[in-house]
Chains A and B, each alone.
Chain A
Amino acid sequence: MSTLLDILTTAAILYSVCAGLLLVFGVMKIINFAHGGFLTVGGYSALLVTHLGLHPWWAPAFAFVIGAVCGMAIERLVVRPLYSRPLDAILATWGLGIIIGQVITLAFGREVQFVQSPVTGALDLPGGASYSEYRLLLVAVAVALGLTLAAVLEGTRLGLVTRAVIMNENLARALGINSGLVRFATFSLGAGLASLAGALITPLSSVDPNMGVPWLVNAFMLVMVSGVSLVSLAIACVVLGGAQVLVSQWGNPILGGLTIVVLAAFVLRLRPQGFSRG
């Protein structure tokens, strides 16, 4: 039972962490290696909320705003000139990740710090065991996040325009869609979501200036196997995240940490389209 919950909550956490990266990759065809940096920004936003003595519920919202604002500036200055050089964009955004990490180190110090969790209780499971309520809450958050993104993409004009850009950017531009604006909005939203995810995961562990890097690699691999679909991302998170939980539990945690990257690499080798259809 608790293994099942572990799989579910791990998948939910991975989903929240990956959503922003997927969005940016889907619309801009760019791998945002500053994603780890944005996660860190979110973690420290949550820390700030704790320091300011605000209720921890403020952390995600605060993190989202800070992340989105950072994203706006970065899109203008760094990402925009690299639209046509996707491999260079990986490198430049990795450099941005370094910059973000160093700025945070200068501002907050390099030591590990802890953030207050909004929910601290544990839920009693049938059979006497108990399970962290916060982790369970994250499942609900991930589902809500997925549904909101889907609703925005499917149900609003912005979503329609975004989907048009995903499918055929040149045609969209020819039809008068300002694809530059769509990219700008997407990158800002992606950064905001990454930062939000950073704030969500910090109560589970701690914050330090390099907290984003291990997440980045897993998120990158999950997005690679998901193509550009929110649904296949969910499948990938459950399957590969589940494999990670099982390997960590029955094998050893170090192998568990490798599960997602290695499996994803082999999935892509055997089936280049990964978990997406077609």
Chain B
Amino acid sequence: MADPVASVLPSPVANAPRKRSDLKRLGIFAAIALVVIAIGPYVLPMYMVNGLIRAFLYAAVALTVDVLWGYTGILTFGQSAFFGIGAYAAGLMFTHVGFSTGYAAIALVAGVGVAMLVAGLVGWLAFYHGASPLYGSVVTLVLPIVVTQILFSGGNFTGSSSGLSGFESFDVSIEAWFWIAGGFLVALTSAAWLFVRSDAGRILVAIRENEQRCEYVGINVSRVKIVLMVVCAAIAAIAGYAFAGVQMVVAPEYAGFVFGTELLIWVALGGRGTLIGPVIGTLVLDVSTSYLSGNLPFVWKLVIGVAFVVVIVALPQGLTPLVTRTARRIFGRRETAAPDAPVTFEQSAAAPYAGLEGAGQQALAVEGVRKHFGSLAVLQGIDFAASRGELLSLVGPNGAGKTTLMRCVADGNERSGGTVRINDHDIGRKPPYTCVGFGVGRKFQTANVFETLTVAEALRIARTRMARPSLWSRAGTLPLPEASLQVIRATGLDLQIGTEARHLSHGMKQALELAMVLALEPSVLLLDEPTAGLTKPERTMIGGILVNLAQKHRLCILLVEHDLDFVREISSRVIVLHQGRLVLDGTVAEVVESELVRTIYSGAAHGAPS
């Protein structure tokens, strides 16, 4: 984390109205909600007030499920376990020790603390580098099962299957509980709304969209997920604690896997990734369940089941978007969501080698790098070094190991043997986000971007490493290094900063990814066929940019390319790979005139694909 202060400037005036209107909208919503909650206990029947208190607390947990699942893409069955931990913290303390303000405070701290610890453990287990999303879900599924079984086996201490009840609790009227729980929910929803729309909140969506790209722009995805899990666990535990305080009963079901899936059902029906949808979904469904399950016990649950399946299959975004769209149509209002906050680019103070003590001697050193898949050797002892300002092309027929070599340079876990040093730092077994810190920037072969993020958002994600994004607001300016700005302006990306990446043309996506990688201010740039699928003029332009990067910005560029004409025009040096071995390392002229290269391309292989 370099110098966040130097590169983040105060927002310009142009952006202020938009931000103010955002905050104003939030303020109006929150105020209306608070007024409704304030008068609620006076107009609603007692039964309803009671039911809503419970629903408010459930909705708070549903909100955490939405942040984890709807925004970040972590399908979790386990939030119920944290709710249960918070509830049992209160239940155990008040049953076995007794009730006093001091004990209540201790119980709260203990409950939240245990929940956070467990969440940390679960996160460590579920979100290791390279874990599949399915595995993460598996772990969150195991958690509530383990917690309920522990509660079952606790005998008199935890009350086993019947739980604990009848303990003394807060001397607070039911109306006051209604205000506390309602106020808690409104505050939480507002905070979550600010967070997911903030610059930092966009990282969650980036992780959902493309975890790999996140790691290759230097974001430690596992850590983000674990921190998020821990925070969400704490919130769920607070809700559970309040639940035990008001209901004066705790039971293993509240920590269970079935409750965990019920939370998912509420979120899915309300509309994942909308915050307000899951809240309303929870309130409506929980309250109507407590009314209807008396009259139509099994039919009601059947209806919920059918609605859930239908929504997942046919309306993955849930009912909220449907309702808002219909409302707009009825009231004749146009979509108000569209234009994104205007962001202005500006040039940042150059900060190459951010986080490193110095530039070091050698930009890139590859020594004896080997890679094999089982018995198949793909790379067999590759040795070369490259300095700053070199534009080194890597050529060779398909299957020569070019892309594999790129991978071995950018991710410490890829190679089977040998050493890779970036700016004199041994990458060891370090994951991609650490290698980015050493100065590597990797552009993938096929454009690897965040499909639903706008150009500006994607570029900001790429700057996360340099400038810690705000947790609650959106900056109006985006400082980018000169090289990145050059690409953006030359390709016309600056005219589409509010466009989502999925609406960009193929060439523009490639340009966006290149701009993102350059925003990292790498000193070693890895490019895997950056011109594949581009038109001739686009190619020439990219070539010019690359030469400029190497000569003017002194980047060390490693380029995989099939188009030998292109290579000849821009390279300062060429390395030829063949069947996993480095067969030639020399100037463009040496390689072009080499008999060996001609044999490889025309004889052994079947002509050079270009």
Contacts and interface: CB of A to CB of B under 8 A. Distances in A.
Given A81-B313, A254-B149, A99 B138 contact: no
A86 B134 contact: yes
Contacts of B138: 220-221, 224, 264-265, 268
Interface in B117-132: 125, 128, 130-132
B149 to A, nearest CB: 5
B308 A98 contact: yes
B313 A78 contact: yes
Nearest to A93: B309
A102 B298 contact: yes
B23 interface: no
A261 B305 contact: no
Given A92-B313, A221-B138, A255 B298 contact: no
Interface stretch (B261-269, B319-327, B419-427): B261-269
A82 interface: yes
A217 interface: yes
Interface centre among B128, B132, B309, B374 (most CB of A within 10 A): B309
Contact of A268 (B135, B141, B145, B313): B135
A91 B142 contact: no
A96 interface: yes
B312 interface: yes
Contacts of A268: 135, 138
Contact of B142 (A78, A96, A255, A265): A265
B142 A261 contact: yes
A99 B313 contact: no
A221 B135 CA distance: 10
A168 to B, nearest CB: 17
A90 B145 contact: no
A272 B305 contact: no
Given A78-B309, A98-B305, A99-B306, A88 B142 contact: no
Interface residues of B, number: 40
Nearest to B128: A269
A262 interface: yes
Interface string B288-300: 0000000000110
B341 interface: no
B149 A102 contact: no
A262 B316 contact: no
B149 A91 contact: no
Nearest to A94: B261
Given A81-B313, A82-B313, A265-B125, A258 B149 contact: yes
Interface centre among B299, B308, B313, B316 (most CB of A within 10 A): B313
Most buried by B among A92, A220, A257, A272: A92
B301 A31 contact: no
Majority secondary structure, A binding face = helix
Contact of B75 (A82, A87, A106, A220): A87
Contact of A265 (B139, B298, B302): B139
B301 A102 contact: yes
A115 to B, nearest CB: 22
Nearest to A34: B309
Interface string A95-117: 11011001101100010000000
Contacts of A85: 316
B257 interface: yes
A220 B257 CA distance: 14
Contacts of B306: 95, 99
Contacts of A120: none
Interface string A53-76: 000000000000000000000000
Nearest to A99: B305
A88 B264 CA distance: 11
A90 B298 contact: no
A58 to B, nearest CB: 29
A98 B134 contact: no
B445 interface: no
Given A91-B264, A258-B145, A258-B149, A96 B309 contact: yes
A98 B137 contact: no
B312 A217 contact: no
B298 A106 contact: yes
A96 B313 CA distance: 11
A104 to B, nearest CB: 10
B302 A91 contact: no
A162 to B, nearest CB: 22
B224 interface: no
A252 interface: yes
Residue in B138, B149, B301, B374 with the greatest tally of chain A CB atoms within 10 Å: B138
Contacts of B374: 278
B308 A262 contact: no
A272 B135 contact: yes
Contact of B309 (A92, A220, A254): A92
Interface string A246-277: 00000010110110011011101100100000
A106 B125 CA distance: 40
Given A106-B299, A106-B302, A265-B125, A217 B313 contact: no
B146 interface: yes
Contacts of B134: 31, 86-87, 224
A98 B301 contact: yes
Contact of A217 (B125, B131, B257, B309): B257
B145 A102 contact: no
A88 B312 contact: yes
Nearest to B69: A87
B34 interface: no
A92 B306 CA distance: 9
B316 A99 contact: no
B152 interface: yes
Contacts of A266: 125
A90 B153 contact: no
Contacts of A31: 134
A108 B258 CA distance: 22
A96 B310 CA distance: 10
Contacts of B152: 254
B37 interface: no
A266 B149 CA distance: 18
Q: Which of A95, A257, A262 is the most central at the interface, judged by chain B CB atoms within 10 Å of its CB?
A: A95
A212 to B, nearest CB: 13
B312 A92 contact: yes
Interface in B340-391: 374
Q: Top 5 nearest A-B pairs by Cβ distance?
A: A98-B305, A102-B302, A95-B309, A95-B308, A99-B305
Interface of A: 31, 78, 81-82, 85-88, 90-92, 94-96, 98-99, 102-103, 105-106, 110, 213, 217, 220-221, 224, 252, 254-255, 257-258, 261-262, 264-266, 268-269, 272, 278
21 contacts: A31-B134, A78-B313, A82-B313, A85-B316, A88-B316, A91-B75, A94-B261, A95-B309, A96-B305, A99-B305, A102-B299, A102-B301, A102-B305, A106-B298, A213-B258, A255-B153, A258-B145, A265-B125, A266-B125, A268-B138, A269-B135
Given A95-B312, A106-B299, A252-B153, 19 more contacts: A85-B316, A87-B73, A87-B133, A87-B137, A90-B75, A92-B312, A94-B261, A96-B309, A98-B302, A102-B298, A102-B299, A217-B141, A224-B134, A254-B153, A261-B141, A261-B146, A269-B128, A272-B132, A278-B374
